[in-house]
């Protein structure tokens, strides 16, 4: 099996992985309930790369599901400048697919030493990360991921965060059921999404530069789609908030510089449609994906994703076109999508 | 005067603007002292585009100068999903050059209604932003900015944040003096920096894609340099943490895809030198700027910036090569750097 086929197999395996996670939800939802009893003053979220995108998702999911003040944090103040990593009464959540990223492990230890409750969200039991938070490790249950580009570990960590927040809100079992529904919807949609992604790759096989825009709950999806396109298909893809695009980056747009709009089905959609209008005025072709993709006018390619029912599970489905398009574009360029150049699976550098 | 010359005039005007700000420091440092007396539980920071980069800087500056828990926040949870924008006992700081950005003003009002102390950092007295926080407006004193691309309002807002944090720490007058020293250093260095930027533009006149990496206090500089290159010279430039680059984006690098490293003179430099090593292994040419630029090995172009003495003022100087290079690249491409296409000076969209 080539790397490309391994990547496709892992993309396709996601619904099964989400079902495994739903089956194993109880320790996660119970941890959420325990954390909620202590009413955390602040929840700090850190990660690198794909795991940073999980942190972006968590800053929405944990606020919307259980009302925590959950904010993305930087590790540098603690690691380089001697600032306390956290404070008593806070929860510190570190995300890492491997659980072995050096500075993330160091930050989580520092946060625990500063009196915060450490939580590790990872895919690998027994990792250094897990050891730094032995009684509060959330496992994504995605199974071994062989491709360098993260796919099932990303959506697995999203699902784990949704379960944690729902557990804190006393509705963990309902979220597990919604996760199973999302798995069914994804499984049914995947053949069509694969065909749509192939069509996208054909239309944009020469793309070099691209913006991915979103706002609100789907912002993490924009971040992750941009990273997949960059690391798998070597596109210089940049994620922007739909509103931020108007603050400068719109100037670079031109007919050969597309804008990919991730359209969530909620109040933030207005900002995305406004950004698409600006992109079209600049002559940029538009790619529309997400549950509200059909409501984006004038797109060159439209790939709607299923309505997940539970709003906070929509990002698990809306990232699928990005994963598939990155693979399809890589194949169109003659690249091996499973083994991007210059990359290692585990980045342990401090 | 063409737009390009207006941009250059505004870049050159920065030392004089910083001196005006230093002269007007007392209301800002006194506000910092007042806020410090109430020991804010959390300081939330928001902005779009360049103003978001000021927020990134503030999350370091306010932690390092006065120990506040200062974190970048998103506006969407409050504006689209009905989540409280803030809580009593917190400080909410909104950044906007014009003070008229619709959703930023709405967010600041929502934070005030939720019981937080609102602070507006802007360059325009009497703006809607200023009206949303009438007794806590911090003015950057940069003077009218005619170019669409922000330069002196960016460094002016950085200086205002440094004064605010120093005031909270009881050393406002010392920071004002350090700001004057930084102005002298910038003024002396600007002719050499302009020549260096012209040399950079000559070497990289055909650049289409570029990463700007940094870590720690200089991260905001990377964000801002990338945005200047994008909006003025239409380069698809993406800012990354030096460590984040290894988590995927390194795969896209190749000989025609340079990496611009902003090298701060502190403990975070090790992460930047590691990223540069990875970039060189990938065949990417390297541009090194910042106070520790000379310590980056093997760079194709090296543009050191003066040691500001006060560590937290280094970013005011280290952004200058980026501003100047964006202008020089635009001129090399036959573009008008003062009036980027598709852009308006004030973005009022909600």
- CATH of region A3-178, choose from 3.40.50.10490, 3.40.50.360, 1.20.1050.10, 3.40.50.620: 3.40.50.10490
Q: pLDDT digit of tens for each residue in chain A (350 aa)?
A: 455 689 999 999 999 999 999 999 999 999 999 999 999 999 999 999 999 999 999 999 999 999 999 999 999 999 999 999 999 999 999 999 877 778 999 999 999 999 999 999 999 877 766 666 667 899 999 999 988 899 999 999 999 999 999 999 999 999 999 999 999 999 999 999 999 999 999 999 999 899 999 999 999 999 999 999 999 998 989 999 998 898 889 988 999 999 999 999 999 999 999 999 999 999 999 999 999 999 999 999 999 999 998 999 999 999 999 999 999 999 999 988 877 777 776 655 43
Same fold, B3-170 and B189-332: yes
Contact state of B50 with A87 under an 8 Å Cβ cutoff: no
* pLDDT for A350: 37
Average pLDDT over residues B260-286: 96
Contact state of A343 with B250 under an 8 Å Cβ cutoff: yes
Average pLDDT over residues B127-138: 74
CA distance A339 to B167: 52
Run of H or E residues at A209: strand A209-214
The complex's ipTM works out to: 0.93
At B12-54, the pLDDT tens digits run: 999 999 999 999 999 999 999 999 999 999 999 999 999 999 9
* pLDDT for A129: 65
pLDDT category, B327, cuts 50, 70, 90? very high
CB A236 within 8 A of CB B252: yes
* pLDDT for A1: 44
CA distance A74 to B56: 10
CATH topology (fold) of B3-170: Rossmann fold (3.40.50)
Contact state of B76 with A266 under an 8 Å Cβ cutoff: no
Which residue of B252, B268, B272, B350 to mutate against A (max A Cβ within 10 Å)? B252
Q: How far does CA A225 lie from the centroid of its chain? A: 8
Kindly identify which residue of chain A lies nearest to residue B148, measuring between CA atoms.
Answer: A248
Contacts of A267 in chain B (CB under 8 A): 79-81
CB neighbourhood size of B202 (10 A): 12
At B283-300, the pLDDT tens digits run: 999 999 999 999 999 999
Contact state of A251 with B232 under an 8 Å Cβ cutoff: yes
DSSP-derived secondary structure for A159-196: HHHHHHHHHHTT-HHHHHHHHHHHHHHHHHHHHHHHHH
CB A24 within 8 A of CB A141: yes
Contacts of B238 in chain A (CB under 8 A): 236, 238
Contact state of A248 with B257 under an 8 Å Cβ cutoff: no
B77, B208, B251 member nearest A60 (Cβ) = B77
Domain boundaries, given as residue ranges, for chain B: 3-170, 189-332
User: What is the least distance, in Å, from the CA of A229 to any CA of chain B?
Assistant: 9
B209, B248, B274 member nearest A231 (Cβ) = B248
Looking at domain A189-332, does it have CATH number 1.10.10.1150? no
* pLDDT for B338: 78
Q: Give chain B's length.
A: 350
pTM comes to 0.95
* pLDDT for B343: 75
CB A32 within 8 A of CB A172: yes
Contact state of B77 with A87 under an 8 Å Cβ cutoff: no
* pLDDT for A341: 77
User: Could you tell me the end-to-end alpha-carbon distance of chain B, in angstroms, rounded to an integer?
Assistant: 33
CB B62 within 8 A of CB B43: yes
Kindly identify which residue of chain B lies nearest to residue A311, measuring between CA atoms.
Answer: B81
* Bridge partners, residue A166, by sequence: none
> What is the average pLDDT score of chain B?
93
At B199-210, the pLDDT tens digits run: 999 999 999 899
* pLDDT for B2: 54
* Bridge partners, residue A262, by sequence: A289
CA distance B185 to B153: 19
Beta strands in chain B (DSSP E): 43-46, 70-72, 91-96, 117-122, 137-139, 209-214, 236-241, 259-262, 286-290, 301-304
Contacts of B274 in chain A (CB under 8 A): 349
At B83-113, the pLDDT tens digits run: 999 999 999 999 998 777 789 999 999 999 9
| CA-wise closest residue to A257 among B222, B234, B232, B315 | B234
The pLDDT > 70 percentage for chain B reads 95
């Amino acid at each position: 099996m080539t790397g490309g086929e391994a990547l496709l197999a892992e993309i396709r395996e996601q619904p099964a992985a989400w079902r495994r996670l739903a089956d194993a939800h109880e320790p996660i939802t119970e941890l959420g309930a325990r954390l909620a009893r202590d009413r955390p003053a602040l929840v700090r979220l850190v990660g690198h790369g794909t795991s940073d995108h999980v942190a972006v998702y968590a800053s929405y999911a944990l606020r919307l599901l259980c009302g925590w003040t959950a904010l993305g944090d930087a590790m540098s103040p603690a690691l380089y400048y001697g600032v306390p990593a956290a404070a008593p009464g806070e929860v510190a959540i570190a995300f890492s697919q491997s659980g072995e990223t050096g500075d993330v492990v160091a930050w989580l230890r520092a946060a625990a030493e500063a009196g915060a409750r450490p939580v590790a969200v990872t895919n690998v039991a027994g990792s250094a990360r897990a050891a730094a938070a032995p009684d509060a490790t959330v496992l994504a249950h995605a199974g071994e991921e062989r491709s360098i580009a993260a796919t099932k570990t990303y959506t697995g960590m999203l699902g784990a965060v949704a379960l944690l927040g729902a557990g804190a809100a006393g509705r963990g079992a309902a979220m597990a059921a919604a996760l199973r529904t999302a798995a069914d919807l994804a499984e049914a949609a995947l053949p069509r999404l694969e065909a749509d992604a192939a069509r996208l790759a054909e239309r944009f096989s020469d793309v070099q530069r691209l913006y991915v825009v979103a706002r609100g709950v789907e912002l993490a999806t924009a971040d992750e789609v941009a990273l997949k396109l960059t690391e798998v298909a070597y596109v210089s893809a940049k994620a922007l908030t739909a509103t931020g695009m108007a603050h400068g980056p719109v100037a670079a747009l031109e007919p050969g510089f597309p804008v990919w709009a991730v359209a969530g089905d909620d109040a933030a959609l207005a900002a995305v449609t406004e950004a698409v209008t600006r992109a079209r005025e600049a002559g940029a072709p538009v790619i529309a994906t997400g549950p509200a993709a059909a409501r984006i006018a004038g797109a060159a390619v439209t790939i709607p994703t299923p309505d997940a029912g539970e709003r906070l599970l929509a990002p698990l489905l809306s990232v699928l076109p990005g994963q598939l398009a990155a693979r399809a574009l890589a194949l169109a360029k003659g690249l091996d999508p499973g083994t991007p150049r210059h990359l290692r699976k585990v980045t342990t550098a401090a």
